[in-house]
Every structure is written in structure tokens, then in C-alpha cells.
Structure 1
Amino acid sequence: MNCKSQKQRAIRAFEDFLSTPLETLLQQHLDTPNESAALSLFHDVAANVPAYKAFLAEREINPAAIQTLEEFQKLPAIAKENYILRYPLADLCRHGQLQACDMIAASSGSTGKPTFWPRFFTDELQIATRFEQIFHDSFYADTRRTLAVICFTLGTWVGGMFTTNCCRYLASKGYPITVITPGNNKEEILRVVQELGSAFEQVVLLGYPPFLKDVIDTGIARGVEWQQNQIKLVMAGEVFSEEWRSLVGERIGSQNPCYDFASLYGTADAGVLGNETPLSICIRRFLADNPDAARDLFGESRLPTLLQYDPVSRYFEVQDRALLFSGDNGIPLIRYDILDTGGLISYDAMIQFLAQWGFDTVAVLQDERLKQSSIKLTKSYTQHSPRGIHPLPFVYVFGRSNFTVSYFGANIYPENVTVGLEQPVIQEWVTGKFVLQVKEDADKNRFLSVVVELASGVEGNEDKQQTIAFSILSQLVRLNSEFANYVPSEYQMPQVALAPTGDPEYFPIGVKHRYTRK
């Protein structure tokens, strides 16, 4: 792509973004058949991306023969192993031109070796609409002076820079949003809020849930009066409970969690795939209080993250409980298996399901907004119709299916822990089996738990526990760059418990061992 066409593409996309109202963007899926967007992207990628062309050729698939959604859904799924890691980075981009992308983010794999994800300015504009949805529908940021504090890790990691850019695009669109980027520097975040917060009508903290809670708790201990700043939270990278949301909401003085929080389903691979809305949060809180309804809806007794998505921007499918998506990016992805388990529910099906359980989401949201109108000064809070109700489909996500756990937004892999147990002396004490979990203490703070199986005849003691914990920590920091950069140092030390060989709870004999628990 030459400089002129690159420039024209950027100008055209930015003009469209700035001039198109959010409501128009969120309604386009009603006029666009989902399959037409997916098929159109497929034919474009099959013709213009060298790696995907080769991927199809190796499997003797003729792109011209794929003309219906049914044929599209029979295409082999792509994943990191069979696609991203098999071809040169440039070949994964259109026309084999890496230089047509103007930004590269990194995500680290099980060995700590990063995967690179290039993107162009126009890719960010697509994702900026997800942020606009949150800032407009949840936070009413079109009418309130807003300080957006980026608390995601800065650097090559996708969260910080991507979020910063998207928030700045909203400011360009006319939202009274001012952005500041302390990253995951807790002292700097607290200084920013205390010194600048009073100049704005609300302060939005954007970061990983456990880190934001730590910031809030540290602030309370130092006398920060969060409720004076009308705090809102935008989060990504973790599944959390509604009890967690309520606890944190209480500590920041939140009057309405449906409108004061929003979680993103975000990835380095493709930006933001979906986001919480006031509607989805209201539904999830109902389901948290009604576990039978949740089990009926999701088929499991655990509560997934529940979001809405735009099927024109990201086309989702479910195959054997795995979520696949197709979407345009610097590296366009067709039926990409991100290794998350979950499912899809149409808007109409969700509303009908809730009606069967006697729950009227719209009425509940209406009541909440009217309640808030008595304590907010902004006129828009007294509107009769609550914002944040769009007939977009729902996606629910249980999390990674490849045995990782997510901790402060870092993917932690069993392979990293294994290396810690394979060090001299330690390897004589243990069998090599362990169970990796992220747990919460009584105050809802997260910690990394590792239960390790002792070798036959070996007795556990505190010295062994500490030696193993330090060894695991040193290998996590060495091997997993996300862990080293995302997790605050005071939360990095794993809590190690030692269990005897064949412990029935963690290491039952004769059963295939699982190294992680959700």
C-alpha cells in the first residue's frame, strides 16, 4: 500500500468515526446480515493475505466455493499454533506488508516469548466505538467533564496504549474527556486523583480489576475520599464476581453498579471483542442472585462474564463450546479460536428467558436511573428512557480453555510453574504435580495459590514451602513477561501449600490430573 492510499484510508476512517453518531453505529447490525460481513471479510482475506492464502491452499480449499454461511462455518478454525506461529509476521498482514500497520503490540506465551500483533490506526477506530459505548451509555461522558486515568500497564502490552488511543479519539469526537497515563504506578495514580480529580465531574479508572481494587484500598488507608470524585471503573482481563463488584462499589461510593462499572472482553489478538453494558450488568446481577436461573441459561454453576457485542465488527460462532470469531485487524482473523469457552445468546432470546423468570431488566434499569436523578445534577440523568439498552447479541465467556489462569490480566501457564519445581533439590521433594489457582481472601484481594504434591515419604515444612514459593516466583518473573510487568510486586509471591502424595482433594490417584482450577 502506498503512502497516498494509506493517508486516504486514515482520513476517510477518521472522518466517518467523528461524524457518525454512536446510535447509528450500534444499529448498523439491524440492516446488515451478519453473514454478509463475515463472508465479505473472508473473501478479502483469502485474496490479499499471503498466510491465509497458503493456509487454504494447503487444505485444498477454493475460496470461490465459499458462498454461504453454511460453507463458511465449515472452514477450518485458525489458532496461534496452526496459523499465527506458522507464518512470517509480514505474511499475516494484507499484501504481506507489515509497514502498512503503524503500531505493534505484544502478548507473551507460555515461554515468555512474545507474539506480535500489528495494527493500523483504522483498527483502533473500530475499537474506539466500544469505548464510546461505555463512556456515553454508562458514564454519560458526553455531558460531564471526565478525567480518564489509564491504569493498565504501558509499553508494548496491548492494554495501556490501545486504551489511551481510544480515549483520545473520543475526545476528538467532542467528548469532554481528558486522558492521563500513570500506567500501573499506584503512587502516581493516587497523586493524579487527589490533585486533579476535583477539576472534573467524574474520574474513570481503567485497569485490571484486582489492581484497581488495590489502588482503591490503598487510597482508603491513606484517607482518600473516593466518593468525592464520582469514580467509574473500566476493567479487562479478569472474570470477577458480583460480590466483588458490590464490595468495590461500596468503597468508591457507587450509587449504581450497572452504570458505574464496565468490563471489556479484550485481547492482544484483536482488540476489544465485546463489552459490558448497563443491560448486561443488570442481567448478570440478577443471575448472581438466582443461581438456578444462571445454571439454566449457561449450563454451568459458575457465572461467566456476560457482554454484548456488535456482530458486524466481530462475528462470533461457537464450536464445541469454544468461541470462534472473525474480525478485521492488522492481522485479519477468520474463525479464530482464542481458546475461550463460552456461548452466544440473541437479544430476543435473552429477554424472553428473563421474562420466564419474572425479571424485567428495562424496568429495573429505569428505576435505578430515576433513583440516581435525585442525587445527580446533570439534566441527562432525568431522561425517561435509560441509556445502555441496545438490541445487540450477548456473548458469555468462562475463560481460557488451555489451562491458563488470569491474574492481574497476565496469563499464567502451568509450564512456568513446572520450571520452578524442576530446580535442584526441589525436584527431589516433589512429584511435579501441582494445582494452580487464583483465589480471594476475606477482603476480596486476589492471590496466586499453588498446591504442590510432595514425593512419597517426603514431609512438608515451612522451609520447603518458602523455598518452593521463591523458586516458582523467580521462574514466573524470568519466563513470563506479562507476569513480571502486569502483577504488582507485592502480589507476585505465590502462596504455596504442600499436600501428600495422592491427596484426595488435589491429587486423586487414577484420575487424569488438571494443573489449574478456575
Structure 2
Amino acid sequence: MVIDEERPGRVLAGLREFYQAEPASTAPEDQGAEAALALFHDVASTVPAYGSFLAEHGLDPASVRTTADFERVPLLVKEAYQRRYALPELCRGGRLDACDMVAVSSGSSGTPTVWPRSVLDERLVAARFEQVFHGSFRADERRTLAVICFALGSWVGGMYTAACCRHLAAKGYPITVATPGNDVDEILRVVGELGPHFDQVVLLGYPPFVKNVIDAGLGRGVDWARYGIRLVLAGEVFSEQWRDLVGRRAGMTEPCHDSASLYGTADAGVLGNETPLSIRVRRFLAGNPDAARELFGDSRLPTLVQYDPVTRYFETHEGTLLFTGDNGVPLVRYHIADEGGIVSYDRMLAFCRKYDFDPLAEPRDDEPGTAGGGDDEPVTAGPRGAPVLPFVYVFGRSLFTVSFFGANIYPENVTVGLERPGISDQVTGKFVLRVEEDEDRDRHLSVVVELAPGVPPDPALASLLAGSIRTELLRLNSEFAHYVPDAYQTPAVELRRAGDPEFFPPGVKHRYTRPE
């Protein structure tokens, strides 16, 4: 294999395009389907695995001419596509070496799933970070210290986030990046030593871990308000009450501008991000549960973000999300299995106005829907924070996993902990996996376990089960081992008698997870 002499030119051209572009604030929604159709034809002709996949499904790419035809393209799922073909065959030209890096996520078996990417893939994700740093944090006007609090290593969060923040710095933003990773002591040291030299400090990490950092700092006398704290969060759905609580502790005063959640995956990086507009809408819906139920079809409040349909085209399938996007492994109609849906920009504004709420207008003194009882006044989105982009809402994969400190925890991981000698004969193997929030808004892993018939509840057995589950989670799930702090790794185990009507009703198909 010889050096790719054309690659430097492609990379330079792509980066130049990103570095010279104005921050994106709009993208015509109808162009998303056209872009997805064009990507489909490119992938069909350049990616060996995808060409074989279509042939096996009897689909001639030439027959897909219109956006209506695109809906006939078979869905991609990880088990039948990414795990079936050799990794190089999933890349353009069958060349894994055309990608610069790999990101890793743990699967249900604990076996890492590898996702290659190139520096040109990073620019698409960096654009989402730019929308947050420019539109919410005004980082073009403020000296900003970006502190990466995600775990570092092959996992997608830390390295990808650091790379994207460095792209913003290279573009000219006065941003300096520090990478302490998920080490609380080192994060506090970095903030204390470097924070005074900047106008604001942005902590980027998983919501429960960032809260731990804030609380640990308060315990050590850190005056967070003096650092102009901002938060970039990812990996989990959190409540607006949680946003208010953490905001107060961190000295943040503008809930719609001081934090932003990302909707991201190891499969394709960041797919969408909160904006001041989406946060203001979500806070309104948090205070108006009937409106939220009408819009989302569920009593749960999902993550609500905006996205660029040209680079990440979303569709829905039976209440779950599909997306099409270019990456080191290009994905077309990829079924990520997240529960959720999409709402156009115009429809969202019309829906809010039907409830006498205009998210683009100046807030009234009597405006409802801050966060269901908080004292903070909602902040108008403003021109920067109101991109003309569609919305996607995400409940997460509640039927299959729970997310804890950004780690996907699978029922299969827990099952092994119940099958160890000395344990398996005392339980049925059924359990319910949950993440619960206490009065202080800290989150804890909970496992409700069904006892075998005739076995009484015993605190000693609960403790034994908790230790066994923790051991297997650490062994099988690398995300859990690297993302979840030691103090939170042992689950709270609750024992229920066989056939418990609340958790284990007889004759009903069992679900191993339950919506939060």
C-alpha cells in the first residue's frame, strides 16, 4: 500500500471550508432528504459492505431515484450490518487505513464495537459544538477554558470532544482546551489554576458526573460563580429541575444559555444539540405536562435538540429514530433504536403558540413553564440562540438499556451477576433495572430482583447480589468501568417475592427495564 497523495488536499479543502464558514443557523429541511439520497448512491458505489447488503435485499441502487424511493431502502441495524462484515469493508473503498482514528463503545456482550472516523468527520460534529459555544456561550466574545470531563481513551466522548473543541480554537475562537478526563481532583485543580485567566469555564461531561464535580467543589470551598461556569452535557436525559439545581450550585443565572445537552452516539458522533430556543421550549413543556404529552405522546419529558438535516437526516420508524449521515463508516437509514420523534421548526413554533407561548418573543412576567416551580425567569432565545432548524426528541433506549453516567447498561450484563454459584438458586433471574434520582438530584443504579419461590427477603442476600452485579458490570462493560465513579458502581438491590404484582406479575411478558 502506497501513501495516498490526494488525501492532504481533501483534508485541507474540507478543513478550510469549515474554518472559513460562518456559524450555521439555518438549513432548509427539504434539503435533508435530497442530501440523504445523494449519500445513499455514493455509499452504494463506494462501500463494499453496503453494496453487498443491498444486493442481498434485492435492491438495485439505480431504482432509488426520488426521496419517496428512498423510503424503500432497507434499514441498517448493528447486528445485521456492522457486526456482520469485516471492518475495512464498511469503509469507503474497503480501506480502514483511510480513517484517522477509531472510537469504541461497549455492546450488550461487553465486546467493543469499533467505529472508524477521519478528521473530516470531526468537522461535521465540530459544527454542533460551534452552535453551542457561539450561540449559547458567546465564546467568540469571551476567553473560554473548555475542560473535558469525559473519560479519555478509546471511548468516543473524551477524545472526540477534545478534537472538536480544538477545531473551534483553530477557527479563531479564544478557546483553550484542558483534558483532565473524569478525575474529580484533577478537574478541580485545573479549574482553580487556569480558571482565573478566562472569562468563562465550560465543563463538558455526563450530567451526573458533572454534578459530582460541582458538589465536590462546593465541599472544598470552590466559588463556582467566579469562574463563569457553563456546561456541555451528553449521554442522559435529565429534568429541568436538575438543570435548575445544578445551575444554582454552579452560580449560573441564565438556564437557557448556560448549559446545553448533546444528542450523540459512538456510531456517528453528535447528531443534534440543545439551543437556547430548544431549552426554552422544553422548560415551557416541563411546566405544562398536558402540552408535553400531546406533543410527545408520552408523560416522560425527553431530551429536545435541534439538528442539521443536511448532515444528519432523521426519520422515524415505529416510534424509534433512524438517521442517515456520513462518517468513517457511512450509515444510511441506520436504526439506532432510540425512542423518539421529529418535529419541524414551523410545527414546533405553531404548537407552542397554540398554548399561548411564543418561544421567540420576549418573556412576559406571567409566562408559564420555567421548570415546574423554579425561581428562574426564562430567557428569550434571541437571534443567536434560535436557529431555523428542525427538532428531534429522544427518550433513549428505555426498552433495552439504561444510561448511567453516560454508560449504557444492558440487562445481559446484570443477568450474569445473578447466575453465579450460590446466588442462582435463590433468584428466578428476573429483575428490573432502573436509574433513580434522590432528593438531592443524585442518580443511583437500582436493581429490583425477583426471589425464587419460597425464598424470603434477606438483607445479606441483597448485599451479595449487589456485589456480584457490580463485579460482572466491571468485567463485561468497559463503559461502566471507565465512566461510573467507584462510589456509584454498586447498585442498590431491592428483593421482591416471586410473582410480585408490581414488578413481576405472573403471565405478563417481563421487561427488564422500566421508564424513569
Q: Deviations over 1:472-504 (max 9, x none)?
A: 000000011110011011110100010111111
Q: Is the 8 A contact 1:306 1:394 kept in 2?
A: yes
SS of the residue aligned with 1:106?
Answer: strand
Q: Is contact 1:26-1:310 (8 Å) kept?
A: no
Determine the structure 2 residue equivalent to 1:119. 117
Contact 1:125–1:166 under 8 Å retained in 2? yes
**SS of 1:77's equivalent?**
coil
State the partner residue of 1:460.
457
* Cα distance in 2, alignment partners of residues 501 and 412 from structure 1: 24
Kept in 1, the 8 Å contact 2:319–2:341? The answer is yes
Bigger shift: residues 355-364 or 488-497? 355-364
1:371 corresponding residue in structure 2 = none
Q: Which residue is 2:15 aligned to? A: 14
CA distance in 2, matches of 1:510, 1:47: 50
In structure 1, distance between residues paired with 2:3 and 2:75: 32
What runs of 5+ residues in structure 2 fail to find an aligned partner?
Answer: 366-378
Separation (CA, whole Å) in 2 of partners of 1:206 and 1:120 = 22
Contact 1:147 1:180 in 2 (8 A): yes
Q: Which residue of 479, 496, 500 corresponds with 1:499?
A: 496
Kindly tell me: are residues 365 and 78 of structure 1, through their superposed partners in 2, closer, same or farther at Cα, counting changes over 3 Å? farther
How much has 1:402 moved relative to structure 2?
Answer: 4.6
One-letter identity of the residue aligned with 2:297: G
CA contact (8 A) 2:29 2:389 kept: no
Residue 310 of structure 1: which of 308, 311, 317 is its match? 308
Q: 1:31 to 1:108 in 2, by over 3 A?
A: closer
> What SS class does the counterpart of residue 204 from structure 1 fall into?
strand
Instruction: Choose which of 321, 326, 329 in structure 2 pairs with 1:328.
Output: 326
Cα-Cα RMSD: 1.7
C-alpha spacing 1:385/1:230, structure 2 compared with 1 (3 Å)? same
Q: Which amino acid aligns with 1:230?
A: G
Question: CA deviation digits over 1:72-103, x for unaligned, max 9?
Answer: 11111001011000100000000000000001
Deviation at 1:385, TM superposition (A): 4.7
After the TM superposition, which residues 233-244 of structure 1 pair with which residues of structure 2 at under 5 Å, given as runs? Answer: 233-244=231-242
Q: Which has more helix, going by share of residues? A: 1
Inter-partner Cα distance in structure 1 for 2:488 and 2:381: 45
Q: How does 1:62-77 map to 2 (within 5 A)?
A: 62-77=60-75
The reply to whether residue 445 of structure 1 matches residue 446 of structure 2 is no
Output the CA distance in 2 between the equivalents of 1:95 and 1:2.
Answer: 15
1:36 matched to which residue of 2?
34
1:508 matched to which residue of 2? 505
TM-score by length of 2: 0.95
**Count of residues paired in the alignment:** 502
State the 1:34 CA deviation. Answer: 2.0
**Paired residues for 1:157-176 under 5 Å:** 157-176=155-174
Q: 1:286 is matched with which residue: 284, 287, 303?
A: 284
* Match 1:473 to one of 448, 453, 470: 470
User: What is the CA deviation profile of residues 354-385 of structure 1, one whole-angstrom value per residue up to 9, with x for unaligned ones?
Assistant: 00000011124699xxxxxxxxxxxxxx9995
Task: Look up the match of 2:200.
Answer: 202
Q: 1:364 & 1:290 partners in 2: Cα distance?
A: 19
Q: Distance in 1 between matches of 2:295 and 2:285?
A: 9
**Aligned-partner Cα distance in 2 for 1:364–1:277:** 16
Q: Which residue, 227, 244, 248 being the options, matches 1:229?
A: 227
CA–CA separation in structure 1 for the residues paired with 2:21 and 2:468: 54
- Structure 1 pair 492–365 and aligned structure 2 pair: CA distance change class (3 A): farther
**1:105 equivalenced with 2:106 (yes/no):** no
In structure 2, the partner of 1:517 is: 514
Partners in 2 of 1:64 and 1:257 — Cα distance? 49
Q: Look up the match of 1:389.
A: 386
Change (3 A) 1:316 1:133: same
- Correspondences of 1:423-438 after superposition (within 5 Å): 423-438=420-435
Which residue does the alignment assign to 1:144?
142
Deviation, structure 1 residue 4: 1.7
The answer on whether the counterparts of 1:46 and 1:63 sit within 8 Å (CA) in structure 2 is: yes
SS at match of 2:9: helix
User: Higher relative CO (CA 8 A, sep ≥ 6), structure 1 or 2?
Assistant: 2
User: 3-state DSSP class of the match of 2:461?
Assistant: helix
In structure 2, C-alpha distance between the alignment counterparts of 1:257 and 1:494, rounded to whole Å: 31
Distance in 2, Cα, partners of 1:106 & 1:33: 31
Q: Report how far residue 59 of structure 1 moved.
A: 1.1
Q: Which amino acid in structure 1 is aligned with residue 72 of structure 2? A: K
Deviation at 1:346, TM superposition (A): 0.4
**What do the CA deviations read for 1:241-299 (whole angstroms, capped 9, x no partner)?**
11100100110111111000000001000010000000000000000000001011111
SS at match of 2:299: coil
SS in 1 for 2:324: strand
CA distance in 2, matches of 1:457, 1:480: 33
CA contact (8 A) 2:126 2:168 kept: yes
Give the structure 2 partner of residue 84 of structure 1: 82
What is the deviation of 1:212?
0.2
Checking the alignment, whether the CA contact within 8 Å between 2:361 and 2:380 is kept in structure 1 is no
Shift of the 167–276 alpha-carbon distance from structure 1 to 2, 3 Å rule, reads: same
In structure 2, what is the Cα distance between the partners aligned to 1:402 and 1:216? 31
Is the 8 Å Cα contact of residues 139 and 173 (structure 2) preserved in structure 1? Answer: yes
Q: CA–CA distance in 2 between the matches of 1:473 and 1:450?
A: 11
Tell me the residue number matched to 1:267: 265
Please give the alpha-carbon distance, in whole angstroms, between the structure 1 residues aligned to 2:210 and 2:386.
27
Instruction: Provide the rounded CA distance (Å) in 1 between the counterparts of 2:15 and 2:364.
Output: 34
